[in-house]
């Protein structure tokens, strides 16, 4: 599930992840279990609702277990649980007198558990989905919410129209801010209500070309202004063994709405193009290049800050009998000399 929160900067991290998937399939019933573990180091907390020390270095670990089942080709139920060991020592809090303190001591870890479950139903050309998610134990950013979506296929399944929605509640640690030297400190909202609404259109133009267009809006009430955005994806089969994909995204906050914190208005633009080749049967190689630009305009200071980044990705995918192997490596470089290296790999078995 993806909740859009415009970031303030890009990750500066080295991450490693390993995933394992086991599935059982029959004519009327199918089930799969997915296990994934990941490690992130030198990580910066980067959401607009967070105030972080960009010079700090931390490590986060996570382990997730997901179960999915299908019944009679109409119902699908999925449930997932994720355990995370998180370091919040780079998160800075400010009290009502302007004194700073860290949310956690250096090296102090906190274990958090999250639950996510969904029920999907499909009949003929209609697909419905409802779900919920929640933290199971105490977290300084504890979150719970519900999701819902619907889609319908037209013209022999070549066109799909639908909508998706998310509504959630999130707790925030108590902290204060001031917009200028002359203004007093003001308490930030500690109980955030947020939503995201989207409509999408998927289209198969030919046997080699398809697209997905999504328009969305949302807001974190009491924290960020209302935003609008769009995401376009176009996939093209160039030959039987060469494929390409283009993705563009644009998000902009409403600059006519009053700001709730000391941060300014954000705009995000992203683009990515990738090529996937199959030089050998069941062996895929992918290379991609992306560029992103984030802007923050602060009307209190009259300044506009821009952070741009280049993103490079190389991926390998190989299927041998009933086993699939994956390996992905990424590198990002920003205009303020921040760098992000990551590598992830996994294997999936079908029995």
Q: What is residue 39's predicted lDDT score, i.e. its pLDDT?
A: 56
With contact defined as beta carbons under 8 Å apart, do 348 and 21 qualify? yes
Q: What is residue 88's predicted lDDT score, i.e. its pLDDT?
A: 87
- Domain ranges for the chain: 14-350
Q: Residues of the chain whose pLDDT is less than 70?
A: 1-60, 71-73, 348-351
Q: Architecture of domain 14-350 in CATH? A: Beta Barrel (2.40)
What pTM was computed for the model?
Answer: 0.83
Q: What is residue 127's predicted lDDT score, i.e. its pLDDT?
A: 96
Number of other residues whose CB lies within 10 A of the CB of residue 351: 7
| Rounded CA separation 218/196 (Å) | 4
| Rounded CA separation 49/3 (Å) | 13
Q: What is residue 45's predicted lDDT score, i.e. its pLDDT?
A: 33
Q: What is residue 49's predicted lDDT score, i.e. its pLDDT?
A: 35
Q: What is residue 342's predicted lDDT score, i.e. its pLDDT?
A: 74
Which parts of 53-178 are beta strand (E)?
A: 59-71, 75-86, 92-94, 100-102, 110-123, 126-135, 143-154, 159-171, 176-177
Q: What is residue 270's predicted lDDT score, i.e. its pLDDT?
A: 97
Q: What is residue 109's predicted lDDT score, i.e. its pLDDT?
A: 85
**CA 204, 205, 210, 212 torsion-angle sign:** negative
């Amino acid at each position: 599930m993806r909740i859009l929160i415009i970031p303030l900067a890009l990750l500066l991290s080295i991450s490693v992840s390993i995933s394992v998937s086991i599935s059982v399939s029959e004519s009327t019933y199918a089930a799969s279990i997915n296990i994934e573990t990941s490690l992130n180091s030198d990580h910066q907390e980067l959401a607009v609702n967070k105030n972080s020390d960009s010079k700090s270095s931390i490590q986060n670990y996570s382990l997730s277990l997901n179960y999915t089942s299908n019944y009679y080709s109409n119902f699908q139920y999925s449930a997932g649980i994720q355990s995370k060991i998180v370091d919040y020592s780079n998160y800075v809090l400010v009290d009502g007198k302007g004194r700073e303190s860290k949310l956690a001591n250096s090296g102090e870890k906190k274990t958090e558990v999250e639950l996510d479950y969904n029920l999907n139903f499909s009949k003929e050309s209609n697909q419905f989905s409802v779900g919920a998610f929640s933290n199971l134990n105490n977290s300084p950013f504890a979150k719970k919410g519900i999701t819902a979506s619907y889609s319908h296929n037209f013209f022999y399944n070549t066109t799909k129209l639908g909508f998706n929605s998310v509504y959630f509640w999130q707790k925030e640690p108590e902290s204060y801010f001031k917009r200028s030297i002359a203004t007093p400190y003001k308490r930030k909202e500690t109980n955030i209500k947020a939503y995201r609404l989207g409509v999408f259109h998927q289209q198969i133009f030919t046997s080699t070309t398809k697209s997905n267009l999504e328009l969305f809006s949302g807001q974190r009430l009491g924290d960020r202004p209302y935003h609008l955005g769009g995401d376009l994806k176009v996939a093209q089969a160039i030959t039987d063994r060469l494929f390409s994909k283009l993705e563009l995204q644009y998000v902009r906050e409403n600059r006519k709405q009053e700001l709730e914190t000391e941060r300014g208005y954000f705009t995000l633009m992203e683009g990515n193009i990738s090529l996937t080749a199959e030089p050998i049967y069941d062996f895929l190689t992918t290379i991609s290049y992306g560029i992103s630009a984030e802007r923050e305009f602060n009307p209190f200071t009259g300044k506009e800050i821009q952070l741009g980044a280049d993103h490079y990705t190389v991926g390998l995918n190989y299927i041998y009998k009933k086993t699939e192997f994956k390996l992905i490596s990424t590198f990002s470089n920003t205009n303020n000399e921040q760098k992000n290296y990551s590598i992830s790999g996994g294997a999936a078995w079908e029995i």
